Structure 1
């Protein structure tokens, strides 16, 4: 490794030489995970449906996969490492597109070490501003089934096609990304289609863990806490990352929120852990992993959002993050 560093003039990162695919890396958690993987030295294939020339049903033009790949490159350069981002437009509901993506990774790299299933985009089919969510039979069926496809089918398609490349070498890591820990998601998170879309990845990680361990590989499900995604900041609260605390006037419990970088650091900690198999099949959170690995959010704090939401917000207590970040 030292000889390689001297020859290249690069600093060694914990994930140097690793090949990663972040499926659904256009924005939010997926974008941050791709960036932090690149900062740690990985070559990262970033995929999604929004490009400079095409916009997905999410309807946001400000975030693209090319933009994500550029941020990966910037982070890698700043770290002085070998990481880089490669943007590949992919609709993960189209098996032929996913197959072409995986074949390209195989041809260019000959391996896949980290597969992240962060595909979503279903928020546009939901309305969380209403006081009461509709019963299953009152919800638009087309929207409900689209949520199922975006949140579940896309993950299954991607894992089915990419897993054979992942298991080619022992040590591969498959990461399902969802919203909510297994404990938190035991509660009904109405509407039903959303609840199913966010609980299914937890079970998928458990099931895939059972199958992957035979090949020396690991599957986990991870969740960020209350994520300060681009849409959360500028659409829901009309704030920026710099003044996000102003949103606490509207939603006091937003004080427990975290930047997307936090879940990115959680992923790097997992991927760099030589004993990552100890987590096989488990539901993990950014806050819980921060306690285990010692990383922090960008402000130096370590928010434990899901414990807070269970113990404070859901109990009707006033907002107070003391002891939770």
Structure 2
């Protein structure tokens, strides 16, 4: 059923916004470069020493691609419109107006300590809301607008806004949950306006991703629910079915190579759904947990005996998942 396909993105120019040393952004950039694309990476991390930030990004770029020079690092403060404008003007100049794929992965909450993310909303520091919904969402809009300006001129392009599948951690966090809903609505609205220009815009939702921050957050949740066996079992299953940081990148590569991708414009897509449609697996040659699978949902909610009688291919309809914000 799953056949590995050699996907080539030679000649494509991509920008991945929000790249850190261990996150999804880096995994996306790595897979795009592997497929042959030229990839600009940038980070919204703000540091007082500009040279240290440039060095940080350059080291990531070299780790992603040390041979062909197809991964290019650009420092950008995403709280500054001037920096965002300069970023896109540089790509416009260096690539003669070509930008084929924008991946918006700026997720400012990664800089907030996990113990603060796990608190009730009235205990959240105001900087959490500002980071997630002032800086990050504003950046999503501005980057989409600047990228669309280049893509509309060439009558082709792909805008991907990395959203959230509303997993058990995010569902308990007001600021992050609101950001997810607005991000998805933004993609739908942009897609409607860009349809006539042959520019596709989607929201892409990873599942639970295996990376250091997420694991620390889940450890905090384990401690929070230590007296609740059902809750801790749910968290264990979520982590067991987690995907690598490169799985989203593989999904992005397949979207970028799909000549019929316009039919997906305006949709909220799940990485696991795309894996089954395009026929790819994670880097460990496994399929992560499918959060639309009814049997999996029954397992994590404490009914494993009932899950035994439900085939894994029986899923919750996507419209229903969208209605409930993908919260499981």
Structure 1: give runs of 5+ residues left out of the alignment. 1-11, 56-60, 239-246
Matching residue of 2:268: 283
What is the aligned residue count?
Answer: 289
2:60 to 68, 74, 89: 68
Q: Deviations over 1:282-318 (max 9, x none)?
A: 0011101000000100121122442259723653335
RMSD (Å), alpha carbons = 3.6
Match of 1:174 in 2: 159
When residues 54 and 35 of structure 1 are mapped into structure 2, their CA distance, relative to the original with a 3 A threshold, is farther
> Which residue does 1:47 correspond to in 2?
42
Q: Which has the higher contact order (CA 8 A, sep 6+)?
A: 2
The equivalent of 1:243 in structure 2 is none
**Match for 2:278 among 293, 304, 313?**
293
Aligned-partner SS, 1:201: helix
Structure 1 CA distance for aligned equivalents of residues 274 and 136 of structure 2: 24
TM (norm. structure 1) is 0.77
Structure 2 CA distance, aligned partners of 1:38 and 1:203?
29
What CA distance in whole angstroms lies between the structure 2 residues aligned with 1:130 and 1:97? Answer: 28
By how many angstroms is 1:173 displaced? 0.1
- For 1:130 and 1:219, locate their aligned partners in 2 and report how far apart those are by CA, in whole Å: 29
Match among 27, 34, 39 for residue 32 of structure 1: 27
Aligned residue for 1:20, secondary structure, equals: strand
Find 1:140's aligned residue among 107, 114, 125. Answer: 125
CA distance in 1 between counterparts of 2:58 and 2:209 reads: 22
- 8 Å CA contact retained: 1:152, 1:201: yes
1:16 equivalent in structure 2:
10
Alignment partner for residue 238 of structure 2, among 253, 268, 292? 253
Q: Which residue of 2 aligns with 1:5?
A: none
Q: Can you list the C-alpha shifts for 1:218-243, whole angstroms capped at 9, x where unaligned?
A: 001101111012433578669xxxxx
* Cα 1:216–1:83 shift into 2, 3 Å: farther
Structure 2 portions without partners, runs of 5+: 1-5, 221-231, 314-328
Give the structure-2-normalised TM-score: 0.76
Query: Structure 1 residues 253 and 190 mapped into 2: Cα distance closer, same or farther (>3 Å)?
Result: closer
Task: Find the counterpart in structure 1 of residue 148 from structure 2.
Answer: 163
